Structure formats: C-alpha cells, structure tokens
Amino acid sequence: MYSISLLTALFTHMQWADAEVWSALLDTSGAAKDKYIAKTLFHIRFTHYAYSCLLRGESVPFPDRKQFNSLSEPTNWARTHYADTSELLTGLSEEDLEEVVPVPWSNVFEKGTGSAAAETTRGDILYQITAHSQYHRAQINRRIRELGKKPPLVDYIVWKWKHNPSASWR
C-alpha cells in the first residue's frame, strides 16, 4: 500500500510546508501570544515525536508544554525531530512498511468510540505523521488569516511545482 519513495516525498514536503507556515507565524502580529497557535504547535510536534519514539521502540516522555514559551522553542524542537524522523525511513524495505506496530494510545480511540482499533502498520504510522501535520497546518493557516496576514501556499503540488525545495527554517 505504501512505498518508501512516496513516504520520503511526503516527509520532505511536510518539513518544507511546516517551515513555511512557522516562518509566516513569526511574521504575523499577535501570533506569538496566541494561545490557540501555541497549543496547536505543541500538539503537532508532540504527536510527531510520540509516533517517532514508538517506531524506534522508545518510551514516550511527555514534555511540559509550559517550557515552550515562544514560537521559536517548538520550532527548534521540531527541527531536531525532523532529522530523527527522516532516519525512520532509512534502511526500510517495502515489506517493513507492512509490519504491525501496536499503538498504546489506541485505547483512547476505543474508549471514545466503543469500537476496537484495527491493527496499525509501520507504513500507516509514517503516513499518519504527515497527514496529521497537514491537518493542523490548515488550522494554523486559518488562524494566520484571522490575524490579518496571508498564509503561505503549502500544498503538495505547489512544492512539486517549486522543484521539491528543502525546508528553510528561520
């Protein structure tokens, strides 16, 4: 279902798109003090981090959100974890993507829906990281617009049209 080349492209796009959105936030008046933005940025990065830890077989330490008092702190944290996440794809085969990986927090879904969670593969989790980031980037872009600034255009096709640029973090 998934391929290494597709996931690699999605991860590269995600990093570029996130850097574009976060750069726009730094130029948006009021963004630095916006509680919704702070909460959402932390959520994006923590979820990305948690899934990365899960795929590496590590425990998931929960950082204190209060330690992120500015827009630059979650950005710096994210940059560190992008490198770690890119390494998750290194050396994988297409068969590795089909490996079932139990997700400990799927019980939250089960309690909320009353339905058992289906098995999750390594490929599902890698795709989820990129889809989750995309979902919340849209929310952040909406908030940038509400604060009176034009949000960056970060669609996947725009990234392709720009010849797959790398992320440019400020």
Mean pLDDT of 72-101: 79
Q: What is the pLDDT of residue 76?
A: 66
Q: Report CA dihedral (118, 6, 164, 49) to the nearest 10 degrees.
A: 40
What pLDDT is recorded for position 82? 72
Residues 67, 61 contacting (CB under 8 angstroms): no
CB 169 within 8 A of CB 25: no
Q: 47: part of which helix (H) or strand (E)?
A: helix 35-56
- pLDDT digit string, tens, across residues 89-114: 888 999 999 999 999 999 998 999 99
Averaged pLDDT for residues 1-11: 94
The pLDDT value given to residue 117: 94
**Alpha-carbon gap, residue 140 to 27, rounded angstroms:** 13
* pLDDT over 80 (residue 61): no
Phi and psi at residue 100, in whole multiples of 5°? -75, 130
The reported pTM is 0.89
pLDDT at 32: 86
Q: What is the pLDDT of residue 69?
A: 62
Please give the backbone phi and psi of residue 166, each rounded to the nearest 5 degrees, phi first. -80, 165
Length of the chain: 170
List domains and CATH numbers for the chain: 4-161 (1.20.120.450)
Stretch 39-47: mean pLDDT, rounded?
Answer: 86
